[in-house]
């Protein structure tokens, strides 16, 4: 996946190795300054289709190198909720 913005140009953002093709990594995106939230609603950490979101920072991997800060998963019991399918702030 690539992240593109007028101020950032185009940067590659690899999916974490744990996300399968069915994980739908990149189904939802929200970019705010140096922070990027990426949804993966098909992941199964808390049950089938529970979903997850991955928080990246533009400098976490070095100068202008996007790096994963934290993986966010729903509480247990959220199977089939597809967390990370969309974001609302």
| pLDDT for the residue numbered 9 | 57
Tokens of 24: 């739908």
Q: Is the pLDDT of residue 67 over 70?
A: yes
Domain boundaries, the chain: 2-72
Q: What is the C-alpha to C-alpha distance for residues 86 and 80, in angstroms, rounded to an integer?
A: 14
Q: Which residue has the higher pLDDT, 80 or 36?
A: 36
Task: Say whether pLDDT at 7 is over 70.
Answer: no
Give the pLDDT mean for 11-33: 82
Label residue 37 by pLDDT band (50, 70, 90): very high
Task: Enter the pTM of the model.
Answer: 0.76
| The 3-state secondary structure of the chain, one letter per residue | CEEEECCCEEEECCCCCCCCHHHCCCCCEEEECCEEEEEECCCCCCCCCCEEEEEEECCCCCCCCCEEEEEECCCCCCCCCCECCCCCC
């Amino acid at each position: 996946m690539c992240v593109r913005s007028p101020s950032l140009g185009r940067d590659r953002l690899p999916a974490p190795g744990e996300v399968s093709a069915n994980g739908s990594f990149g189904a939802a995106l929200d970019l705010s300054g140096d922070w990027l939230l990426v949804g993966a609603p098909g992941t199964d950490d808390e049950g089938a289709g529970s979903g997850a979101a991955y928080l990246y920072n533009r400098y976490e991997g070095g100068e202008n190198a996007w790096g994963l800060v934290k993986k966010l998963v729903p509480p247990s019991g959220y199977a089939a909720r597809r967390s990370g399918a969309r974001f609302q702030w």
